[in-house]
Structure formats: C-alpha cells, structure tokens
Amino acid sequence: MVTAIPNQSSYAIGWGTLAFINAGLAQSKNRSGLTWFLISLLLGPIATFFIVILESIAKK
C-alpha cells in the first residue's frame, strides 16, 4: 500500500530543497552558501529573488 506524503511534509521538503538550491546559487556567485541557506530557510523564494539580482563578488 502506498501512502501519500501529507501536505505539511511536502511543503517542508520543498522549502528545504529551495534552501539547498539557493546555497548552491549563492556559492556560484562567490557568496556564503551557509549564510544564504539560513536566510532561505526564513525567506524562501524572496531569498532566491535577492540572490538572482545580486551581482557576483569578485574573488580576491
């Protein structure tokens, strides 16, 4: 028997996945992945928007 994942669980899984994606995107722009992961846990798609519009940081 297959049971469906409850809505709250799937919402949390999606939010966590988005936080991991944002961390990777932030690292690709030479920003702290951990910081953006934590911000993404709080802000979700809003954090994604900010990561996308921010310029990359030049490597020293």
> What is the tens place of the pLDDT at every residue in 12-40?
889 999 999 999 999 999 999 999 999 99
Q: Could you tell me the residue ranges of all domains in the chain?
A: 7-53
Helices (H) and strands (E) in the chain, counts: 3, 0
pTM of the model: 0.81
- pLDDT, position 11: 84
Q: Are the C-beta atoms of 26 and 32 separated by less than 8 Å?
A: yes
Residue type (1 letter), 25: L
